[in-house]
Structure 1
Amino acid sequence: MALRGVGANPLSGRGKLERREVLPWSVPGLSRPERVIAFCEDLPITAGKLAGTTMQLREWQRTFIHAVYTEDAAGGRPVRTAVLSMGRKNGKTQLAAALALCHLLGPEAEPRGEVYSCALTRDQAAKLYAEMVAMLQCHPELDDRCNVIRFTKQIEVLSGEGAGSIYLALSADAGSKLGLSPSFVVYDELGSAPNRALFDAMDTATGARDNPLMMVISTQAAADHAVLSELIDYGLKVHAGDIVDLSFHLTLFAAPQEADPWHPDTWRLANPAIGDFRSLEDVQRQASQARLVPSKEAAFRNLILNQRVSAVSRFIHKAEWDANAGAIDLGRLDGRECYAGLDLGATRDLTAFVMVFPDDKGRFDVLSRFFMPEANIEERSNEDRVPYDLWAKQGLITLIPGATIDPGFVAEAISSASVRYQINAVAYDRWRIEDLRRELGLFGAPVPLTPFGQGFKDFSPAVDMLERCVAEKQLRHGGNPVLNMCAANAVVTRDPAGGRKLDKSKAAGRIDGLVALAMALSISKRHEPEALPACLAELIA
């Protein structure tokens, strides 16, 4: 007879334990969210000082459940995707485990349902499994209905609500996950996912169910292009009324970027359980260290304050860069004078061609073009943890056939731009430029190429001007995601004399677009007409 583990009862003896006549979540008159809450509060706490007691959901947890599980007039649950984001150690795993059990064998269960937990690694996904198993072992009535298969980290429901349902912990290797039909998915710490493959595989698989739910519970990612960041940005647009989508819900606990990171009131904005089951003393300790050790501040902001801040010190602050994301009127750029920067990548790298269009107010419209080889684009997306393949489908990156950058495609794009716009100069790095010159000659494009040194002497003024333009909100870059990525990755190094340059070797990712932008801005400054001496100006007047 099959056994579940050491000391377990035979499966043939399961399902025979006498159950309560009326389960807490079966009490007549309860709404759907109230049934979910009643089920969660019937589950045991298995660790810590409250071990041996049952869960008592806090008001913020109840509010989240009401938002997700409230029914519409037709009796259906509109929400299909729910995101809960907050700082670390606020009880995300316990809440997720309770809800997973609720969908597996509680009031949200359905016959032959499929419940999955997803995470970066299988060990991380198994944390939710371990919490669920611990809850079951301390709840004989529910445990009697289940078969726990420890080797595969799987739970089977043998009887009662959800009979025939299974739970399984999955890792971010999405290749073998196609063909599943999830009724409930909880993705733990999506902010650390290397790519969106597993999320997309599970999200699209829920279409076979009548009432599926994808739930993401995670601290924020560091970068804008991360899938969690996209979900949070989408949710904020729903909150603002810019998008009407009743199927999407976001609950976000995060400290504003401008808030004082060292004040306890700021900590509470991102940590709803602080002073409760989130230790206030632990947050105070981490804040004290981060305040004294600058290298720890970014991690404190990201993991504790739940801000979208990378753990690596960047050249440009996100808030300042985003303040320059004004929309570009492409129709008004035709025929205007512009200056460009060209950063030719290596054979498999990103190539950037960025044009800046000065206006009469001293501001610049920024138009960016990016190129990558088409071969192995998905592999490079996974390696860099950047959605190059998605951006290519959106037209933000031009894919060049083959495994290397063909300069002919870049030359054609520059030639076309020179016909449409008045390009006064194209600043370039001397590396591989002869191949491009040859291709431009074939097109007969009269493009004025201007060499631009990449050392401290030549690049320091470019860094200064880029920094000043960003700080003074003199750019309109349109929020181009590829250029945003380059700005977020940029790192500056200094020489003994104080000169600065953008350093690709120390950057966290590709920065080619920002290098091209800096060169374009700098070359535009060189071509500004010199002001007349005051005496000549008066004479002419």
Structure 2
Amino acid sequence: MMKTTPSGISEQSGQVVQTGRISPSYPAWIFDDSPIPDPHGKGERAVAFLKALRHPKSTLPGRQFQLDRWQERIIRKVYGDTKPDGTRRIKTVFALIPRGNRKTTLGAALAMLHLGPERIPGSQVVSSAVDRDQARIALEEMKGVIGAHPRTAEAFQIQDTKNRIVHRKSSAFYRAMSADAATAHGRTPVFALVDELHAWKKRDLWDAIKTGLVKTPGSLLVVTTTAGIGHENIAHEMYKYASAVASGAIVDDAFLPVLFEADEDEDWRDEAVWRRVNPGLSCVPPYPDIDGMRQMVREAEHRPADREMFRQLHLNVWLDGAANPEWSLDVWDENAGQLDLTALEGRPAWIGVDLGPETEQTIR
């Protein structure tokens, strides 16, 4: 008997069989029920802690924190796969996840873990984003979780004006930071969540976080982001490294790539592609809203800029060109070939010239 999962992977007699078009870097282990090492029980401890939490928006009985299967598998991998001496094996997680798949909730859960069972007395836990509003999103999620249960409300002190949450007994604290590197240098976080790295214009805060993490044994860096535009940025550097690790071109057991992405030339209108790339569509109820995605695609059929936005944010296709193209490159390509100037006589015309350095040199 064969069953096909929403991710596009089929399971038959305990064997995982890839169906359709699945990239070698696709994280099939998230859906295939393969064993995840947990020699010291730290993966199970992490999952049990999160399931004991409450969330104000949860529809589960008792407002239990909703930890979906794909999220649970990632957490078991990150925290359960330890070295023989019990120390952390995975030091960096790069999670490329499309918009609407609850990355923020997952990131807030990870931060809570480091104020919970992963807590070190006096330790620093940080989340960071490109601006203040984005940085506070994870903080607001954590505030909701803490306030949803009397025990967590008693255990933690929320210092809202300082963007901080403090564990009262151990003085371990969490702080949300925006891209102001002056506030980051000198800090030694044991856990750092970096949100939407593709939107970061500068690398000052990134460098401060990276150098701070190496000061503490057992530290963990988690990057959650959608795809970006262009190749000259920190996010694309990390993405290329993650792709190389996922494909086996680079061997790095301390780096965990989680890449949910469509190939550049795949049909962006194909719902089978959507389901493979958006892990939340495997859940009940599914997310993001697939009817909303269908409407976006209907409109994007006639608006190239919307199409590129959909491919970038909902299919994680890393864009090379403009974010808001005036026309589709398919239309541009259709007009390739020899131009008959005589057929244009008497008609108004416009000409565009690339005056970059190479063109200027040719003109001279």
Decide which structure has the larger Cα Rg and report it: 1
Cα distance, 1:285 vs. partner? 1.6
Aligned twin of 2:33: none
Q: What is the rounded CA distance, in whole Å, between the counterparts of 2:262 and 2:360 in structure 1?
A: 35
Aligned twin of 2:110: 99
Aligned twin of 1:276: 286
- 1:312 counterpart letter in structure 2: N
The answer to whether the 8 Å contact 2:55/2:65 transfers is yes
Q: Tell me whether 1:223 sits opposite 2:239 in the alignment.
A: no
> Which of residues 127, 138, 146 is equivalent to 1:136?
146
Deviations 1:451-481 (A, max 9, x none): xxxxxxxxxxxxx9xx99xxxxxxxxxxxxx
Aligned residues: CA RMSD: 2.7
Give runs of aligned pairs for residues 236-251 of structure 1, distance below 5 A: 236-251=243-258
Q: Tell me whether 1:74 sits opposite 2:85 in the alignment.
A: yes
Cα distance, 1:30 vs. partner? 6.7
Cα distance, 1:45 vs. partner? 2.5
Aligned twin of 2:210: 203
Q: What is the rounded CA distance, in whole Å, between the counterparts of 2:108 and 2:348 in structure 1?
A: 55
Distance 1:241 1:117, change over 3 A: same
Cα distance, 1:269 vs. partner? 2.6
Give runs of aligned pairs for residues 127-206 of structure 1, distance below 5 A: 127-159=137-169, 163-206=170-213
Q: What is the rounded CA distance, in whole Å, between the counterparts of 1:128 and 1:135 in structure 2?
A: 11
Aligned twin of 1:502: 354
Report how many aligned residue pairs link the two structures. Answer: 307
The answer to whether the 8 Å contact 1:185/1:202 transfers is yes
Q: Tell me whether 1:32 sits opposite 2:39 in the alignment.
A: no
Aligned twin of 1:308: 318
Give runs of aligned pairs for residues 415-434 of structure 1, distance below 5 A: none
Q: What is the rounded CA distance, in whole Å, between the counterparts of 1:304 and 1:258 in structure 2?
A: 15
Q: What is the rounded CA distance, in whole Å, between the counterparts of 2:43 and 2:105 in structure 1?
A: 18
> Which of residues 102, 121, 128 is equivalent to 1:111?
121
Q: Tell me whether 1:264 sits opposite 2:271 in the alignment.
A: yes
Question: Match of 2:280, SS?
Answer: coil
Deviations 1:197-222 (A, max 9, x none): 11111011011111101111111111
Q: Tell me whether 1:65 sits opposite 2:72 in the alignment.
A: no
After TM superposition, what 4+ stretches of structure 1 lie above 6 angstroms from structure 2?
314-317
Question: Match of 2:353, SS?
Answer: strand
Q: TM-score, normalising length from structure 1?
A: 0.53
- 1:124 counterpart letter in structure 2: Q
Q: Which blocks of at least 5 consecutive residues in structure 2 are unaligned?
A: 1-38, 338-346
Cα distance, 1:498 vs. partner? 5.6
The answer to whether the 8 Å contact 1:174/1:197 transfers is yes
The answer to whether the 8 Å contact 2:304/2:328 transfers is no
The answer to whether the 8 Å contact 2:128/2:179 transfers is yes
Q: What is the rounded CA distance, in whole Å, between the counterparts of 1:315 and 1:247 in structure 2?
A: 43
Distance 1:280 1:519, change over 3 A: same
Q: Tell me whether 1:126 sits opposite 2:133 in the alignment.
A: no
Q: What is the rounded CA distance, in whole Å, between the counterparts of 1:123 and 1:114 in structure 2?
A: 21
Cα distance, 1:496 vs. partner? 4.8
Q: What is the rounded CA distance, in whole Å, between the counterparts of 2:242 and 2:178 in structure 1?
A: 25
Distance 1:48 1:101, change over 3 A: closer
- 2:232 counterpart letter in structure 1: H
Cα distance, 1:293 vs. partner? 1.9
Provide the identity percentage.
30
Q: What is the rounded CA distance, in whole Å, between the counterparts of 2:61 and 2:181 in structure 1?
A: 36
- 1:88 counterpart letter in structure 2: R
Aligned twin of 1:89: 100
Cα distance, 1:187 vs. partner? 0.9
Cα distance, 1:497 vs. partner? 3.0
The answer to whether the 8 Å contact 1:253/1:270 transfers is yes
Cα distance, 1:59 vs. partner? 2.5
Question: Match of 1:183, SS?
Answer: strand
Q: What is the rounded CA distance, in whole Å, between the counterparts of 1:130 and 1:44 in structure 2?
A: 14
Deviations 1:518-537 (A, max 9, x none): 677x79xxxxxxxxxxxxxx
> Which of residues 234, 246, 252 is equivalent to 2:241?
234
- 1:501 counterpart letter in structure 2: V
Q: What is the rounded CA distance, in whole Å, between the counterparts of 1:316 and 1:227 in structure 2?
A: 28
Q: What is the rounded CA distance, in whole Å, between the counterparts of 1:250 and 1:171 in structure 2?
A: 24
Q: Which blocks of at least 5 consecutive residues in structure 1 are unaligned?
A: 1-28, 318-463, 469-494, 504-511, 524-541
Give runs of aligned pairs for residues 10-29 of structure 1, distance below 5 A: none
- 2:304 counterpart letter in structure 1: P
Relative contact order, higher structure (CA 8 A, sep 6+): 2
Deviations 1:47-87 (A, max 9, x none): 26559521242222122223322112232212111111111
- 1:120 counterpart letter in structure 2: V
Cα distance, 1:113 vs. partner? 1.0
The answer to whether the 8 Å contact 1:44/1:52 transfers is yes
Q: Tell me whether 1:286 sits opposite 2:296 in the alignment.
A: yes
Q: What is the rounded CA distance, in whole Å, between the counterparts of 1:304 and 1:39 in structure 2?
A: 31
The answer to whether the 8 Å contact 2:158/2:165 transfers is yes
The answer to whether the 8 Å contact 2:130/2:199 transfers is yes
Give runs of aligned pairs for residues 387-536 of structure 1, distance below 5 A: 496-497=348-349, 499-502=351-354, 512=356, 515-516=357-358
Q: What is the rounded CA distance, in whole Å, between the counterparts of 2:306 and 2:326 in structure 1?
A: 14
Q: TM-score, normalising length from structure 2?
A: 0.77
Aligned twin of 1:253: 260
